[in-house]
Amino acid sequence: MGQFKSCLIRISLCILTIHLGAGATQAEEKSIRAENAELTKLSDGFIFTEGPASDAKGNVYFTDQPNDRIMKWSIDGKLSTFMKPCGRSNGLCFDAKGRLWACADEKNELWRISLAGKATKVITKYKGKLLNGPNDLWIRPDGGLYFTDPFYTRDYWKRGPIEQDCHGVYYLLSGSKVLKRVSSDLKMPNGIIGTPDGKTLYVSDLEGKKTYSYHIKPNGSLTGKRLFCELGSDGMTIDNEGNVYLTGKGVTVFDKTGKQIDHIDVDEEWTANICFGGKDRHLLFITASKGIYGLTMRVKGVGSQ
């Protein structure tokens, strides 16, 4: 009888373990999308959309790069032109003071733009030489700024060949005009995003088809380079659960460990970039070739991007 009772206890414990394990799995697999949410085209008729960033209210600014304009999609769904011309701006990001920073691709510069549309050229060169072409940027909580600088030849450039000795990643201390190169070993750095605590930076090597994570030191330097996932990306964002979103052929989402947890198909030739916007930051705003798209998420954004 004692053996039978012991056996029943073991079976009960086994069933309980299986049940708890199944519950944990279901929790882990909870969708990042809002229930019954579907991808919606918000507008089209552009040439190539890029660089979305949301302001403090959730309005999203993005670039129609070949048309040399920055557009604004408001929280009430209205579309307007914020700035034209805009230095062929590419990636955008708002700082804590509400100023819009732009990778001005026309002359390979970094701009700061007031909400009145007045641009200030903050960075034009690195060590006396032209930058390759600032592409995407992220501003950490203390105002320090990181941007990627790959070299993609443009038909509108009036310049010679590449002057920098690498495709780098740079850091700009808040209030400074002196750049610090923090990475020089990537083939073609492109998408970039950081965690809201300012401790981790993700940088995509689009040509290398990989994305890496780094530990951010207080002085802006990067240490502890680690392979995050075997996928490159054009643009990137992050949500309040630490999931990282990569773009290219649609949007591919990885959890903080580098495990793929979702893929969002977008019916366009190329998905360039993403951010979270809307008044509650639950709208995943996607710039994809000739259109802009939105998908309501369960998770939410944690910053300008």
Domains of the chain: 34-296 (2.120.10.30)
What is the edge-to-edge ordering of all strands in the sheet holding 222-229? 189-194, 200-205, 210-216, 222-229
Residues 146, 204: Cα–Cα separation, whole Å: 13
Q: If you average pLDDT over residues 103-128, what whole number do you get? A: 96
pLDDT over 70 percentage in the chain: 91
Confidence of residue 25 (pLDDT cuts 50, 70, 90): very low
Residue 17: pLDDT band by 50, 70, 90 thresholds? very low
CA dihedral (188, 239, 225, 222) positive or negative: positive
| pLDDT above 70 for 126 | yes
Residue (of 296, 196, 200) closest to 241 by Cα position? 196
Tell me what the pLDDT averaged over the chain comes to.
92
User: Residue 10 pLDDT more than 70?
Assistant: no
Residue whose structure tokens are 């689009």: 206
In the predicted model, what is the mean pLDDT of residues 42-59? Answer: 97
Check: CB of residue 145 under 8 Å from CB of residue 137: yes
The pLDDT of residue 28 is 52
**Helix %, strand %, coil % for the chain, to 5?**
10, 45, 45
Q: Tens digits of per-residue pLDDT, 86-103?
A: 999 999 999 999 999 999
For the segment 14-27, the average pLDDT, to the nearest whole number, is: 44
Please state whether the predicted TM-score (pTM) of the whole model is above 0.75.
Answer: yes
Instruction: Determine the pLDDT at residue 116.
Output: 93
Which pLDDT score is estimated for 39? 98
